[in-house]
Amino acid sequence: MAAEAIELLAVRPDGVYLDSTTGLGGHTALIAQRLTTGLVIASDRDADSLEMARSNTAEWAGRIRYHHGSFEDLPSALEENGLRKIDGLLADLGVSRYQLTTPERGFSFLADGPLDMRMDRTTGMPAADLVNYSAEKALADLIFQLGEERRARKIARAIVRARPIRSTLHLADVVERAVPRTGRLHPATKTFMALRMAVNDEPGQLDRLLETGPGLLASGGRMVVIAFMSIDDRKVKEKFRELGRQARAVILTKHPLQPSEREISQNAPSRSAKLRAVEMN
């Protein structure tokens, strides 16, 4: 939903913008192309992705400042560049295709790899530690709450019995044996999602973004968030409604925007995307 996101940001040639989930630089490039004297700060937790974004956006490097950090570090990204307020903030909460298709990152069971899943590999605990050392109840609660997986207890029991879990494909196989496929999704999809969210503290990070993000915006500045999971979209919706009730912002998307059939046909993972935006008073 790149076109919709950029349109709602209402990029001005002299504006200052923050792409808080730069990934490989797609959105950052679209913003930078529209700038003349303006600036876009490109921030991401994943140092590898950020380096690739530098290369992918080299044509507009004079309009971009790169920042390695998570959502809680966004105020410091502004401070480092001598900024107090910005005109727009974009957050695309999805996992990048690079992360999903690079086996050594451990995000996916498309190919075998280590159970890592950390977006920032310089810190934190890899998924292997969660899978192999968590108590069965704690593991079940995690899979149920973050993955919204109804069969979480059965899956957790199977994981504990199969320990040590050695790799992504080993984990996927254990889950599939415990809860065979009944629909379109692979049985391990929600378990992998829950582990990734836990390893990267995604719920906590989103809370920090929604708490601090609006305060970084100047009057008339816009915040655009693309969520892919219902648990995240609910948080965004509730925060934006709160800002509206407090007369701090105007909601620009009465209902969330969703990808067109054409985009879904070209990029199947986009089917669950929901885009919401507000403008600060």
Widest CA span of the chain, in angstroms?
60
**Residue in 80, 93, 97, 34 with CA at minimum distance from that of residue 223:** 93
Sequence spans of domains, the chain:
2-98+202-280, 121-199
User: Model confidence over 133-170: pLDDT tens digits?
Assistant: 999 999 999 999 999 999 999 999 999 999 999 999 99
Domain covering 121-199 assigned CATH 1.10.220.150 in the classification? no
Distance linking the first and last C-alpha atoms of the chain: 25
pLDDT number for residue 97: 82
Average pLDDT, the chain: 94
Residues 48, 18: Cα–Cα separation, whole Å: 19
Reported confidence tier of residue 106, pLDDT bands at 50, 70, 90? very high
pLDDT of 184 > 90? The answer is no
pLDDT of 177 > 90? The answer is yes
Reported confidence tier of residue 65, pLDDT bands at 50, 70, 90? very high
**Contact criterion met (CB below 8 Å) for 77 and 44:** no
pLDDT number for residue 236: 97
pLDDT of 107 > 90? The answer is yes
In DSSP terms, 275 is beta-bridged to 226, 257
Residues 158, 34: Cα–Cα separation, whole Å: 52
Residues 221, 27: Cα–Cα separation, whole Å: 17
Residues 46, 21: Cα–Cα separation, whole Å: 9
Taking the CA atoms of residue 94, residue 96, residue 261 and residue 237 in that order, the dihedral angle to the nearest 10 degrees is 10
User: pTM of the entire structure?
Assistant: 0.93
pLDDT number for residue 95: 85
Residues 140, 135: Cα–Cα separation, whole Å: 9
**Residue in 203, 200, 225 with CA at minimum distance from that of residue 214:** 225
**SS3 assignment, position 65:** strand
User: Model confidence over 42-58: pLDDT tens digits?
Assistant: 999 999 999 999 999 99
CB neighbours of residue 234 within 10 Å: 12
The burial of 264, by beta-carbon neighbours within 10 Å (0-12 exposed, 13-18 middle, 19 or more buried), is given as middle
Tell the residue number behind the tokens 């919709």, with chain if given: 4
Domain covering 2-98+202-280 assigned CATH 3.90.1150.10 in the classification? no
CB neighbours of residue 238 within 10 Å: 11
Residues 19, 213: Cα–Cα separation, whole Å: 11
Reported confidence tier of residue 279, pLDDT bands at 50, 70, 90? very high
pLDDT number for residue 94: 80
pLDDT of 185 > 90? The answer is no
pLDDT number for residue 73: 93
Which residues, at least 6 apart from 149, have a Cβ–Cβ distance to it below 8 Å?
A: 143, 155, 190, 191, 194
Mean pLDDT of 186-208: 95
**Contact criterion met (CB below 8 Å) for 118 and 199:** yes
